[in-house]
Amino acid sequence: MSYDDDDYPADTFPKDFGYRAYNQDGLELEPNATGNSETKPRILLMGMRRSGKSSIQKVVFHKMSPNETLFLESTSKIVKDDINNSSFVQFQIWDFPGQIDFFEPTFDSDMIFGGCGALVFVIDAKDDYNEALTKFKNTVLQAYKVNQRIKFEVFIHKVDGISDDSKMESQRDIHQRSSDDLSEAGLNQIHLSFHLTSIYDHSIFEAFSKVVQKLIPQLPTLENLLNIFIPNSGIEKAFLFDVVSKIYIATDSSPVDMQTYELCCDMIDVVIDLSSIYSSEETAFDSGSSSLIKLNNNTILYLREVNKFLALVCILREENFNRQGVIDYNFICFRDAISEVFELRLKRQKQLENNGQDDDDLLDEQALIRHGHDAGGISRAQPIN
Ligand SMILES: Nc1nc2c(ncn2[C@@H]2O[C@H](COP(=O)(O)OP(=O)(O)OP(=O)(O)O)[C@@H](O)[C@H]2O)c(=O)[nH]1
């Protein structure tokens, strides 16, 4: 088994969206400006053979249609994929072959789990998952020994076509058994997160959004900004989307309703598809991008470009859109605040690189950044009434 870098042959994101290092204005940075691939947080995709690991990676990050995954070949060695879509979302995904054996001499646990931010373990809900649970336990034990900061995420996958009751029952059973296994091994303190997923609906994007959000040290700042922007603008819910992958990197702290998320995702598709018809692919999403869709239930979807890779999609009542000027003014405050967060992050990243520290140290800066923005950024937003 080899761990070489691989030039993944399948179709990737349009090159025009660029998967290199950019600042908030979309200007390309020096190759080292946001850290090289070795210092990027890593998300590992592990699980049994045919559980759906490669399909997840292809559908979420390479725009493959779910039906095409039927023809994917089994992965025979670790496949590394660099995700560089925005200055906030930068990580590597390592897709592991299902048959990987931790006790093989070539398996270098320190190297693999050392720089890992999150470990996504995929369990096929339609299959007998006894063996998968044993493998999961061994994986967690091995990984935790090397790196105690890893976030463990379990995707109970392929839940399409399964009734809601069975989904809940599988989740309860898997949760119970895996927690019991870890307690028996004396590791009660490990926190596991569970997600019900399928590539045939938006659940996989939602679950991956939550995984990625945990790797963004600025998440509380972004949530805070949205929490201030929303009530002052008469908006019900807003998502800050990475346009290419449709992962939302932040939302306000009100609960996420799946239907609202799906509507917002679909809006991005509509905007990009329509604008591609009338423009070249490079300019399908640019600084002028904005869109308004009126639904037949007195609701409005409003999209605004935040930077080259990020869009804010809001959902609000039609009557609240009467004062669009206030919403737009507040949006500009919000966008300015986001760009300040970017600048601070870049500055800090450069400092850390010069000092030879790693990116996790940014977490310690979190409170500092947040206070800075509470005082001077979005809090200047105008109330809508
Ligand atoms: N119904 C359903 N099928 C899925 C889903 N995700 C993946 N599959 C199917 O599961 C099969 C295996 O998918 P892969 O992505 O190749 O699985 P893998 O875990 O990468 O497999 P290995 O490379 O052998 O470890 C394919 O036929 C996919 O179409 C899902 O959400 N629902």
Domain CATH number, residue 104: 3.40.50.300
For 343, the enclosing helix (H) or strand (E) is helix 324-355
* Adjacent-strand bridge partners of 153: 120, 193
Q: What is the distance between the alpha carbons of residues 335 and 333, in angstroms, rounded to a whole number?
A: 6
Residue by residue, DSSP assigns 118-159 as EEEEEEETTS--HHHHHHHHHHHHHHHHH-TTPEEEEEEE--
**Nearest protein CA to atom 29 of ligand 1, as residue:** 70
**Nearest protein CA to atom 14 of ligand 1, as residue:** 52
Mutate to test the pocket of ligand 1, among 1, 51, 54, 55 (most ligand atoms within 8 A of CB): 55
Q: Are 172 and 280 members of one domain?
A: no
Instruction: Please determine, for residue 368, whether its predicted confidence score (pLDDT) is greater than 60.
Output: no
Q: Are 223 and 207 members of one domain?
A: no
- List the one residue out of 322, 337, 330 whose CA is nearest residue 383: 330
What distance in angstroms lies between residue 181's CA and the mean position of ligand 1's atoms? 26
What distance in angstroms lies between residue 74's CA and the mean position of ligand 1's atoms? 9
What pLDDT is stored for residue 54 in this prediction?
94
Binned at pLDDT 50, 70 and 90, residue 376 comes out as: very low
**Nearest protein CA to atom 7 of ligand 1, as residue:** 52
Q: Are 200 and 240 members of one domain?
A: no
Mean pLDDT highest for which of 27-31, 184-188, 331-335?
Answer: 331-335
Q: Are 197 and 238 members of one domain?
A: no
Instruction: Please determine, for residue 16, whether its predicted confidence score (pLDDT) is greater than 50.
Output: no
For 224, the enclosing helix (H) or strand (E) is helix 219-233
More confident residue, 288 or 30: 288
CA torsion sign for 61, 6, 359, 107 is positive
**Nearest protein CA to atom 12 of ligand 1, as residue:** 50
For 82, the enclosing helix (H) or strand (E) is strand 79-83
What pLDDT is stored for residue 356 in this prediction?
64
What pLDDT is stored for residue 45 in this prediction?
94
What pLDDT is stored for residue 284 in this prediction?
67
Q: Are 172 and 111 members of one domain?
A: yes
What distance in angstroms lies between residue 207's CA and the mean position of ligand 1's atoms? 17
What pLDDT is stored for residue 133 in this prediction?
93
Instruction: Please determine, for residue 3, whether its predicted confidence score (pLDDT) is greater than 70.
Output: no
- Domain limits for position 326: 219-370
Q: Are 186 and 286 members of one domain?
A: no
Domain CATH number, residue 318: 3.30.450.190
**Nearest protein CA to atom 6 of ligand 1, as residue:** 52
What distance in angstroms lies between residue 238's CA and the mean position of ligand 1's atoms? 32
CA 30 to chain centre: 24
219-233 vs 324-355: helix axis angle to the nearest 10? 170
What distance in angstroms lies between residue 171's CA and the mean position of ligand 1's atoms? 19
Of 27-36, 80-89, 116-125, the range with the lowest mean pLDDT is 27-36
Q: For 17, phi and psi rounded to 5 degrees?
A: -75, -15
Q: Are 86 and 138 members of one domain?
A: yes
106 within some domain: yes
Environment class of residue 324 by beta-carbon count within 10 Å: exposed (0-12), middle (13-18) or buried (19+)? middle
Mean pLDDT highest for which of 5-9, 37-41, 380-384?
Answer: 37-41
Q: Which residue has the tokens 């947040």?
A: 370
pLDDT mean over 296-311:
90
pTM of the predicted structure, to 2 decimals: 0.80
10 within some domain: no
Q: Which residues of 17-40 are buried (b: 16+ CB within 10 A; e: fewer)?
A: bbbebbbbeeeeeeeebbbeeebb
What distance in angstroms lies between residue 226's CA and the mean position of ligand 1's atoms? 36
**What are the C-alpha distances in Å from 256 to residues 7, 64, 209, 229, 355?**
36, 25, 12, 17, 39
* Adjacent-strand bridge partners of 235: 316
260 within some domain: yes
What distance in angstroms lies between residue 129's CA and the mean position of ligand 1's atoms? 15
What pLDDT is stored for residue 248 in this prediction?
93
Instruction: Please determine, for residue 100, whether its predicted confidence score (pLDDT) is greater than 70.
Output: yes
Q: Are 240 and 170 members of one domain?
A: no
Q: Are 69 and 155 members of one domain?
A: yes
Nearest atom in ligand 1 to 51's CA: 19
Q: Are 59 and 183 members of one domain?
A: yes
Q: Are 248 and 143 members of one domain?
A: no
Mutate to test the pocket of ligand 1, among 1, 71, 72, 99 (most ligand atoms within 8 A of CB): 72
Nearest atom in ligand 1 to 76's CA: 23
CA 376 to chain centre: 28
Q: Which residues line ligand 1 (CB under 6 A)?
A: 47, 49-55, 69-70, 72, 74-75, 97-98, 157-158, 160, 198-200
288 within some domain: yes
Q: What is the distance between the alpha carbons of residues 144 and 119, in angstroms, rounded to a whole number?
A: 10
Structural domain count of the chain: 2
Instruction: Please determine, for residue 369, whether its predicted confidence score (pLDDT) is greater than 70.
Output: no
What distance in angstroms lies between residue 199's CA and the mean position of ligand 1's atoms? 9
What pLDDT is stored for residue 381 in this prediction?
52
**What are the C-alpha distances in Å from 233 to residues 110, 171, 254, 328?**
49, 38, 15, 9
Q: What is the distance between the alpha carbons of residues 196 and 159, in angstroms, rounded to a whole number?
A: 7
112 within some domain: yes
104 within some domain: yes
Could you say which of 178, 213, 248 is where a domain stops?
Answer: 213
Q: Are 201 and 260 members of one domain?
A: no
381 within some domain: no
What pLDDT is stored for residue 383 in this prediction?
58
Could you say which of 179, 197, 213 is where a domain stops?
Answer: 213
344 within some domain: yes
- 340-358 pLDDT, tens per residue? 887 887 787 777 777 765 5
